[in-house]
Amino acid sequence: MADQHPSPVVTNPWHHLRRYTDARIGLGRAGISLPTQQLLEFQLAHARARDAVHLPLDIDRLTGDLASLPGLTEPGEPVLLHSQAVDRFQYLQRPDLGRRLDDASRERLADRASANGADLALVVVDGLSSSAIQANVAPFLACFLDVLGQTEPDWRLAPLTVVQQGRVAIGDDIGQLLSARAVVVLIGERPGLSSPDSVGIYLTWNPKPGLTDASRNCISNVRPAGLSFDQASERLIYLLREAHRLGLSGVGLKDRTGEVVIDSSTNNKNFLTNDGQS
Amino acid sequence: MSSRYVYTLGPRTWRFRNLAELMAKATPARSGDRLAGVIADSAEERVVAQMCLAEVPLKRFLSEALIPYEDDEVTRLILDRHDPLAFQAVEHLTVGDFRNWLLSDLASSEALTGLRPGLTPEMVAAVSKLMRNQDLILVARKCRVETAFRNTIGRPGHLSTRLQPNHPTDDETGIAASILDGLLYGNGDAVIGINPATDNVAQAIKLMRLMDEVIQQYDIPTQSCVLTHVTNTLEAVEQGAPVDLVFQSIGGTQATNESFGFSLATLREAQDAALSLGRGTVGENVMYFETGQGSSLSANAHHGLDQQTCETRAYAVAREFSPLLVNTVVGFIGPEYLFDGKEIIRAGLEDHFCAKLLGVPMGCDICYTNHAEADQNDMDNLLTLLGVAGCTFIMGIPGSDDIMLNYQTTSFHDALYARRALDLRPAPEFEHWLERMGIFDDVRRHEPSAAIPPMFGRRLAALDGEVRRG
């Protein structure tokens, strides 16, 4: 029976190539425009990314999750800190303010600093994705602290800090106030459309204000669908031990755990031209 | 304080320290100028600065360099290349009168072409600050900038696209899938251009070969480019790689370009290397540049200038090397430089106007990040406005989602929207190819074929067979 109402949507016969890529290919078209379903899927992804940027960190929930972590040698509640950016609006326009602690935070931190310093300060920062921090920091730390406890049981940890409206470099300020030999910042990365929950990890040896990105090592895209917590922990431990051994971080410290040679396995070839091989 | 930039309005006298401060304070508001501390202190001060700037003679820009000649090779390039004969048509004008002249019927397409060597970026940036969005559109539309390599880019009534098949691990199958998707939606006439995930020479060469094989196998009248550092591309040429276009991000001050790791001499060397390969068939424009407001401030290399003036100076760098394509990546840098849709749209129109007036083949990466106050509707607005303004090319990416760079730019569908709504066509050679290959049923009505063309269908069938066997 002939369809009385032909579909206004033209599907693309190459749609199944989606199995090879996350790119939004083969979407089909209504006329030459996006079909309604694909339009709304995009809007949902954008809405989630926007929420990741703008929804504030649920501090109570986060501290609850962090309090139950085994392996945190320093007891007590995480220290709650705030940058000089008063709200998200200012934060987005003034990255310089997001790199500095406000006065109340500095006092709070001074009260908790140990006279003997620490080997490592862990700093949790909302950054550009509260969703990333909310969902992924506690499980990552559980994994990392477990590995750290086995490989470097003698390292002394500074009190865990949680910063709102912060940028990466705020860890330098915190690390110095806590007299930490190294600081590791866990921060919500700028959300992508299909990755609203990525955590970035930044290591700085001998932290002090005024350092640039050249002094840091970065592990990016840490989330269940990206770099796994196990892999990220392994790389961070490697970098930390190398930083301790060499007494530096940044461009002088190469991450050799991540050197993967891209091979041409069956899944990685240009099917548009590989005539002789298929 | 002895200042030449004084403006009296009723009982109040306003003073501006120098031309750079006057330009900055006259600039329509944007977050990057606020971050740099050069923005007008009030809305009133901004308009007074515009009134004061309107009275500045164009000649002043030849005697008062915003960044000293001795300190900056971009300033030297601008002033050394200035052509006094070409300048004669407007040398009697102030900035305000220059706006009137540009909008008048004295400024024909031919007159604007003849004027180019007589204009400096600072003159052009200054007049843009007095112009409304519709002025920027109307004058840009009169500018004719055509370039060519394997096809002809920038003819009136045409809108080209860069097919951008980026992939987070440079996976060849993934890249090929996005290339196929784009070609079948009629995209890719400006260039097929990949931002590599792994940025080194070996990877760049691999991607160059991939694209070159596709272009050759399907006889596509277009060019390829891997957007890697200019020194990587130079090395690729030495290693015999199939380099069509040389890419580089450029800025409007020497210090910005040093932070990017190149000098004008590097660009000259790379242009010569690409030309020596003789790969163009209908033209010899072998360079592809990207720019964007905020890059100089970001590199702490802005010398106290506002970001739009720095940006316009980058076009002097661009035009020195006769590029095939230049695009401003207008919303990529983030909300600390361009806060929201309104600022992004304004900047996109400014960049396009200033570049075209200087003779640069300007396209636009109409884009935003998820922490900017912008969305698809803002991009639709800017796309439509730039389409009317005669923008040379835009990006084309599957479903607007760049899964490698994590931002949103215009999609393959968006390009077809602009072509249909504004009756714009792809590059003529590419349009013939779309027809010849059976990719479009009707190229004039921008109607893609519902079926997959046989040549591509065979490749898909082969891939599917392989998967089943595997």
Per-residue pLDDT of chain A (278 residues; tens, 9 = 90+): 556 899 999 999 999 999 999 999 999 999 999 999 999 999 999 999 999 999 999 999 999 899 888 766 555 689 999 999 999 999 999 999 999 999 999 999 998 888 889 999 999 999 999 999 999 999 999 999 999 999 999 999 999 999 999 999 999 999 999 999 999 999 999 999 988 899 999 999 999 998 888 889 999 999 998 899 999 999 999 999 999 999 999 888 877 665 444 444 445 688 998 654 43
B180 contacts in chain A (CB < 8 Å)? 14, 17, 25, 272
Look up the pTM and report it: 0.93
Residue A210's pLDDT is 87
What the block records as the tokens of A204 is 């700085």
What is the C-alpha to C-alpha distance for residues B276 and B269, in angstroms, rounded to an integer? Answer: 11
Contact of A261 with chain B, judged by CB distance below 8 Å, is answered with no
pLDDT in tens, B64-105: 999 999 999 999 999 999 999 999 999 999 999 999 999 999
Among B370, B419, B445, B468, pick the best mutation site for testing chain A contact (most A Cβ within 10 A).
B370
B32: chain A residues, CB-CB within 8 Å: none
Q: Say yes or no for a CB contact (<8 Å) between A191 and B179.
A: no
Helix (H, G, I), strand (E, B) or coil at A143: helix
pLDDT for B360 equals 98
A27 to B170: CB separation less than 8 angstroms, yes or no: no
Q: Rounded to whole angstroms, what are the CA distances from A166 to A101, A195, B218? A: 8, 20, 51
Distance from CA of B78 to the nearest CA of A (A): 32
**Of the listed ranges A67-76, B415-424, B444-453, the one predicted with least confidence:** A67-76
All residues at 6 or more sequence positions from B265 whose CB lies less than 8 Å from its CB, including other chains = none
* Bridge partners, A81 (sequence order): A163
Of A184-198, A248-262, B142-156, B230-244, the one with minimum mean pLDDT is A248-262
d(CA B56, CA B74): 23
All residues of chain B having their beta carbon less than 8 Å from the beta carbon of residue A42 are 376, 399-401
Per-residue pLDDT at B466: 77
Residue A130 · residue A52 · CB < 8 Å: yes
pLDDT digits (tens, 9 = 90+) for B216-225: 999 999 999 9
Residues of chain B neighbouring A22 (CB-CB closer than 8 A): 168, 174, 403
> What is the rounded (10 degree) CA torsion for B27, B333, A207, A87?
70
According to DSSP, the residues that pair with A199 across neighbouring strands are A188, A222
The answer to whether residues B389 and B348 touch, using CB atoms and an 8 Å cutoff, is: no
CATH fold label, A57-254: Rossmann fold (3.40.50)
Residues 223-252 in A contacting B (C-alpha not used; CB under 8 Å): none
Q: Which of B121, B205, B188 is nearest to B325 (CA)?
A: B188
Which of the residues B406, B409, B440, B445 would you substitute to probe the A interface, choosing the one with the greatest number of A C-beta atoms within 10 Å?
A: B406
Residues in A closer than 8 angstroms to B34, CB to CB, are 93
Q: Find residue A184's DSSP bridge partners.
A: A122, A203
Pairs of residues, one from chain A and one from chain B, whose beta carbons lie less than 8 Å apart: 174
Which pLDDT value is given to residue A266? 46
CA distance A161 to chain B (A): 24
The SS3 assignment for A44 reads helix
Residues with Cβ within 8 Å of residue B85, at least 6 apart in sequence: B118
For the record, the structure tokens of B305 come out as: 């200038």
Question: B-contacting residues of A 3-32, CB under 8 Å?
Answer: 10, 12-14, 16-18, 20-27, 29, 32
Chain A hits for B460, Cβ within 8 Å: 13-14, 17, 271
Comparing CB atoms, the residue among B408, B417, B465 nearest residue A193 is B408
Between CA A161 and CA A170 the distance in angstroms is 11
Domain B11-142 is found in CATH 3.40.50.720: no
DSSP B149: S
Which residue bears the tokens 């040896």? A205
- What is the dihedral sign for C-alpha B77, B81, B84, B88? negative
> What pLDDT, on the 0 to 100 scale, is given for residue B3?
63
Whether A90 and chain B come into contact, CB under 8 Å, resolves to no
Domain ranges of chain B: 11-142, 147-447
Q: Do B411 and A34 touch (CB under 8 A)?
A: yes
CB contact under 8 A, B401 and A45: yes
Q: What is the pLDDT of residue B470?
A: 56
**A34 touches B at CB < 8 Å:** yes
In sequence order, the β-bridge partners of residue B192 are B163, B224
Domains of chain A, by residue range, sit at 57-254
Q: Would the CA dihedral through B433, B233, B163, B428 be positive or negative?
A: negative
Report the chain A residue with the minimal C-alpha distance to residue B182. A25
Tokens of B381: 């607005």
Task: Say whether B180 and A17 touch across the interface (CB within 8 A).
Answer: yes
Pairing of strands B393-396, B191-194: unpaired
The bridge status of strand A199-205 relative to strand A216-222 is: antiparallel
For B388-418, how does the pLDDT look when each residue is reduced to its tens digit (9 = 90+)? 999 999 999 999 999 999 999 999 999 999 9
Nearest CA in chain A to B455: A272
Range with the lowest mean pLDDT among B93-97, B259-263, B271-275, B345-349?
B259-263
Q: Which of B174, B376, B463 sits opposite A23 (nearest CB)?
A: B174
CATH fold group of domain B147-447: TIM Barrel (3.20.20)
Chain B nearest-CA residue for A15: B181
Report residue A8 CA to chain centroid gap: 42
Secondary structure of residue B85 in the 3-state scheme: helix
Strand partners, A101: A83
Place of tokens 């009248």: B221
CB contacts of A46 in chain B (<8 Å) are 370, 375-376, 408
* Cross-chain residue pair A32–B446, CB shorter than 8 Å: yes
